[in-house]
Structure 1
Amino acid sequence: MTVGGTRLFLGTAVTAAVVTAVLYAVPAGQILYFATYGAICALSWWAALRLVAGSDRRPWLLVATAQTLWLTGDAIEMAFFLFGEVPAVGVSDAFWLGGYPLVATALVLMARRRAPGRLSGGVLDALTLTTVAALASWQFLIQPLFEYGFGDAVVPALYPVGDIVLLAAVLFLTLSPGERGAPTLLLFGAVSTYLAVDLGYNLLPYVLDYQYVEKLGAGLLAGHALMVAAMLHPGRAELTHPGSRVRTLHPARVVFLGLALLGTPALALRYAGFSGQELATIVASAACAAFVLARFTTAVREQERMQAELAYQAHHDPLTGLVNRTVMHDTLEETVRVSGTGAAVLYLDLDGFKEINDRHGHDAGDAVLVEIAGRLSAAMDGTGLVARLGGDEFVLLRPESSAEETVRLAERVLEEIPRPVLFRGHRLSVGASIGIAVHSGDLSEGTPTEMLRAADTAMYSAKRLGRGRWVAADGSGPLLAA
């Protein structure tokens, strides 16, 4: 993201905070409200049309459309206030209600894009929590409205329904696999603000005058600002791109699911009334639920541990702990083909390793391999990747490495490898032959597989020339001086 985009992101959050405070104290607060909300809508459209492209743009276009509908509803309501009487149910309600399904659809699209094929857990958790919230909303918000007649209650009842839809969508996004950085938290905060404000509009009139309740519009503005801040955030791609991080079962999720498990019977007791027997029943149910969830968490943690072990074994050499051929190929592919950055590959084969195995046994050979793996990792200085392909073959991959840096690395490796390895009183020494291939990131120079093959061929050339040296590959990036 550009510096200007970052400033817009920060400016939006600061402006929302200032405006939210000002609306409570300044008579001209409504003018400031519309000016700020208009700017937020403009930013949302700019972000949707300019900062994202392709199918990633669809969710943000829906959000921008919803913001525009809500602003239009506010403008219609203000026009009625200035030039006539504000109806209890009017045209503005159509615009306000129209934004709910658009935002919900946007959140669902984000979840589907960033966790394709891995949504079942998030769906079930979201439905569990939403079911309890829907039951509570029906009992405390929707059902009381129908006491005044069906016709007068339909439109007001649609707002709690819209809130439930939004809640389900944001829980679906938040609880599904994927990164949960600042953009996800901003979206969750925006929707939570909408829900809190709508809840206030429904409940506060019972205890406060409307002149105080109407100030909740400032809270809605804060929610709109959080929404557009997520659009402007430098890490917004996490909302629409699959993440590589594997999420584990968070204790907070277990707690909320446990509360949801008890929520339905607790709400049912509202009609049955509380007596000693009912209270004892719900306490016992809570204890049983806690025990079951604790056992469930233990089982899931064990499964996650086993999955992590299997994943590690599938991607690492069991002897040296280095990554294996698969990881090296994928990393090279990502570096050259996807990222388009240059890379250097050093294909290394140990000289004299077979003699150590034959004379001292495989235990000695294993000890040498482990020591060599440590030396290679140290030579990389924490940059790049070291892989063991099998036997006594290793590959060093360093992204964005110049020819001079690559030569220095090869020379350092050639100095480190021959140092003796102590094993049961014996000083074991091996050498190394290295083939080097450098790729600039231009695919016209060849594919990553061809690059690796060229380095392998250069390594055998080094062996034929007398071992203990490096040779650069022809036709794979700039030719290094031999």
Structure 2
Amino acid sequence: MTAAKSWVFLVVASAVSGVTAAIYASVPGQILYFALYGVICALAWWAAFRLVPAQDRRPWLLIALAQTLWVTGDAIELAFLHFTGEVPPVGVSDAFWLSGYPLIALALTLMARRRAPGRLRGGVLDALTLSTVAALASWQFLIQPFIDEYGLSQSVIPALYPVGDLVLLAAVLFLTLSPGERGAPTRLLLAAVSTYLLVDLGYNLLPYLVDYSYVEKLGAGLLLGHALFVTAALHPRRAELTRPGMDMRTLHPARVVFLGLALLGTPALALRYAGFSGQEMATIVASAACAAFVLARFTGAVREQERIQAQLAYQARHDPLTGLANRTVLHEALEQAVEQIVENLPSGQPARPGDAGVAVLYLDLDGFKEINDVHGHDAGDAILRAVAGRLATAVQGAGLAARLGGDEFVLLCRNASRQDAVLLAERVLREIAEPVPFGEHRLGVGASVGIAVCGASGDSPAEVLRAADSAMYSAKRLGRGRWVAAGDAGPLMAA
């Protein structure tokens, strides 16, 4: 399913949830509620079995099971209301509703472990820090007041709902704060859990403020949370939640803010019982200042470490003289581009010469050794930097320019046909031939270019690069300043 279709589903589900909320207490409202709920559950199971690979399926099956248990609890409650005219404060429905919380939490935890194996310590500590403060607030404002009013025996089951919310909060924080890509599917899961938490919070607090006829409409809000989960399952980038990804080494400002609030939350909640006199307020202000200083120092140290790591990473993947990508980056980009082309080919058939694919241009400079011998290595370096700049400009936004070493360069172009590659080669030959100023001299070099297009000379990255290299040597033998394209039946050459 495309991303556009998944977003269309979310928009439609949101609109239906809004209509359901408006007529929630009526029979049409209940019919609409269960109809949308049934569609959501069906899509959750369908996505888990049909869209998700078998090795990544378990978390999505747990989410589908949780939503099915929740709708079963709703159906049982509706049956009680229909046959008895009232709903018991605690009943069988609670067992189905409460069982969904640990299943969702387990699914989110499995996702975090799958996409960041061995790199979870930071996310765990941050999640525990924020969840601890939330747990203290939940105890003070939700659980303890309920126990004081109704007694412990009548409060056990209702108190489990805030506990379930805390488990969900800890799990979603664990997922979002752990290393890995944080694209649309991750944000959808965060939005889904946030919706659940807001709805549950509304169930606990709004009865003290408004009539219960308004509170019961929050049930339609749960549909929105379910729809957000299903949208994440339908989204084509859902694999970011269950596949190992790159380590996110940057410290997001929001993370610092949340940790700061967590540091202040505990003393503020503790001082609630002592009151907020002048002395207590001074304590809070001093605590806030100390927390701000500590976080500022911590952030500065982390930023400096990030800068050093980014610099080292750049140096490991780029040529120090020209700034172009090095051999490692080229091979990674070529492998990804070739895999994408092969996946899109029908039944593994090779691409036809006129089809768009991945084109590789292998360049070797003509006359470079003479310039080094006559004018020295500084002149040679000036030539290499000038050529690198011209090559980077030639493929800007459409491909990759890399230096393999010495005077050898490679251009990689995606979605390029054989004709596109030939036109690029001719342009590159003209631009490289432009003289390079060096002191009082204007130095000139040429180039020999070999062209290979994925599908025309082999589908593997090594074969494509080897074909372009061989074509470049053919250009050298045939005379300098020309290109040769590797063809299915031998090289095709133009002067």
TM range (shorter): over 0.9
Unpaired segments of 5 or more residues in structure 1?
A: none
Equivalent residue number for residue 464 of structure 1: 477
Equivalent positions of 1:230-249 (< 5 A) are 230-244=232-246, 246=248, 248-249=250-251
**1:101/1:406 Cα in 2 relative to 1: closer, same or farther (>3 Å)?**
same
Equivalent residue number for residue 159 of structure 2: 157
Q: CA deviation at 1:237?
A: 3.1
Q: CA deviation at 1:243?
A: 4.1
Measured in 1, the distance between the counterparts of 2:464 and 2:32 equals 61
Measured in 1, the distance between the counterparts of 2:64 and 2:244 equals 23
Tell me which amino acid in the other structure corresponds to 1:415.
R
Matched, 1:417 2:432: yes
Q: Which moved more, 1:193-202 or 1:96-105?
A: 193-202
Tell me which amino acid in the other structure corresponds to 1:252.
A
Equivalent residue number for residue 177 of structure 2: 175
- Aligned pair partner of 1:384 in 399, 414, 433: 399
Q: Please state whether the residue corresponding to 2:434 is helix, strand or coil.
A: coil
Residue deviations 1:341-362 (CA, integer Å, cap 9, x gap): 6422221111111111121122
Measured in 1, the distance between the counterparts of 2:10 and 2:211 equals 36
Measured in 1, the distance between the counterparts of 2:254 and 2:456 equals 44
Say whether the 8 Å CA contact 1:12–1:229 is kept in structure 2: no
**1:180/1:294 Cα in 2 relative to 1: closer, same or farther (>3 Å)?**
same
Equivalent residue number for residue 70 of structure 1: 70
Equivalent positions of 1:327-366 (< 5 A) are 327-337=329-339, 340=342, 342-366=357-381
Say whether the 8 Å CA contact 2:17–2:221 is kept in structure 1: no
Q: CA deviation at 1:19?
A: 2.5
Q: CA deviation at 1:131?
A: 0.6
Q: CA deviation at 1:244?
A: 4.4
Equivalent residue number for residue 284 of structure 1: 286
Equivalent residue number for residue 125 of structure 1: 126
Measured in 1, the distance between the counterparts of 2:485 and 2:235 equals 44
Q: Which moved more, 1:376-385 or 1:420-429?
A: 376-385
Measured in 1, the distance between the counterparts of 2:53 and 2:11 equals 22
Q: CA deviation at 1:271?
A: 2.6
Q: Which moved more, 1:267-276 or 1:359-368?
A: 267-276
Equivalent positions of 1:26-425 (< 5 A) are 28-84=28-84, 85-147=86-148, 148-244=150-246, 246=248, 248-337=250-339, 340=342, 342-425=357-440
**1:16/1:303 Cα in 2 relative to 1: closer, same or farther (>3 Å)?**
same
Measured in 2, the distance between the counterparts of 1:440 and 1:446 equals 5
Q: Please state whether the residue corresponding to 2:272 is helix, strand or coil.
A: helix
Q: CA deviation at 1:449?
A: 2.1
Q: Which moved more, 1:117-126 or 1:322-331?
A: 117-126
Q: CA deviation at 1:170?
A: 1.0
Residue deviations 1:160-195 (CA, integer Å, cap 9, x gap): 110000000111112222333332222212211211
TM-score normalised by L of structure 2: 0.90
Q: Which moved more, 1:72-81 or 1:174-183?
A: 174-183
Measured in 1, the distance between the counterparts of 2:78 and 2:396 equals 64
Q: Please state whether the residue corresponding to 2:360 is helix, strand or coil.
A: strand
Percent identity (aligned) = 73
Q: CA deviation at 1:66?
A: 0.7
Q: CA deviation at 1:213?
A: 2.4
**1:380/1:478 Cα in 2 relative to 1: closer, same or farther (>3 Å)?**
farther
Q: Please state whether the residue corresponding to 2:273 is helix, strand or coil.
A: helix
Tell me which amino acid in the other structure corresponds to 1:269.
L
Tell me which amino acid in the other structure corresponds to 1:135.
L
**1:283/1:59 Cα in 2 relative to 1: closer, same or farther (>3 Å)?**
same
TM-score normalised by L of structure 1: 0.92
**1:441/1:64 Cα in 2 relative to 1: closer, same or farther (>3 Å)?**
farther
Residue deviations 1:333-386 (CA, integer Å, cap 9, x gap): 222246526422221111111111121122211111111112222333531211
Residue deviations 1:131-176 (CA, integer Å, cap 9, x gap): 1001111222222333333332221111111000000011111222
CA RMSD, aligned part only?
Answer: 2.3
- Aligned pair partner of 2:468 in 455, 472, 479: 455
Residue deviations 1:18-77 (CA, integer Å, cap 9, x gap): 3233437x5632222222222222222222222222222222211111111000000101
Unpaired segments of 5 or more residues in structure 2?
A: 345-356
Residue deviations 1:91-150 (CA, integer Å, cap 9, x gap): 100000011011111111222233333322221111110010011112222223333333
Q: Please state whether the residue corresponding to 2:416 is helix, strand or coil.
A: coil
Tell me which amino acid in the other structure corresponds to 2:334.
L
Q: Please state whether the residue corresponding to 1:471 is helix, strand or coil.
A: strand
Say whether the 8 Å CA contact 1:418–1:430 is kept in structure 2: yes
Tell me which amino acid in the other structure corresponds to 2:306.
E
Say whether the 8 Å CA contact 1:115–1:176 is kept in structure 2: yes
Measured in 2, the distance between the counterparts of 1:261 and 1:339 equals 51
Give 4+ residue runs of structure 1 displaced > 6 Å after superposition: none
Measured in 1, the distance between the counterparts of 2:249 and 2:456 equals 32
Measured in 1, the distance between the counterparts of 2:181 and 2:264 equals 29
Q: CA deviation at 1:480?
A: 4.7
Q: CA deviation at 1:478?
A: 6.4
**1:478/1:312 Cα in 2 relative to 1: closer, same or farther (>3 Å)?**
farther
Residue deviations 1:304-355 (CA, integer Å, cap 9, x gap): 1221111111111122111001100111122224652642222111111111
Matched, 1:481 2:483: no
Measured in 1, the distance between the counterparts of 2:385 and 2:34 equals 67
